[in-house]
Structure formats: C-alpha cells, structure tokens
Amino acid sequence: MSIDRGKHTSYDIELTPWNGRTENEEVSISKKFYNTLEVNDTVRVENYQGLLNIEWFKVKHK
C-alpha cells in the first residue's frame, strides 16, 4: 500500500497475480477504499469483458 503525492495524489495497492496474470500488479484505488484497508488485507478482483473485448476489473473488499 502506498500513497503517491504528486500533482495528483494516488492511492495504490499491490495485487498478487490473478486471472492468468503472472506478476504482481500495482493498481490505483479511491482514497475512501484505501482508508478501509490494512496491510495484507485480502481483496476481491472482479473481471469484466467490455466493449471491443477489452478486459477491465473492479477491486472490492472481501
């Protein structure tokens, strides 16, 4: 978990591999969601298929 304070503050978490991914991935989440998490919390990643078969996902608290 990290907060990047630049021109625009971002709240990032690192996800372990999921859904065929082979490496950890850092993703930005909302400040509100970030403040509900503790280090090593488990989250749920929901995958979706979008327009033109572009994959996207949501990160939710488990």
The residue extents of the domains of the chain are: 2-61
d(CA 22, CA 32): 28
d(CA 50, CA 46): 13
Residues 35, 40, 42, 48, CA torsion sign: positive
Reported confidence tier of residue 41, pLDDT bands at 50, 70, 90: very high
Predicted TM-score of the model (pTM): 0.78
d(CA 45, CA 14): 12
d(CA 60, CA 46): 8
CA distances from 22 to 9, 17, 51 (A): 28, 5, 25
What pLDDT shows up at residue 7? 86
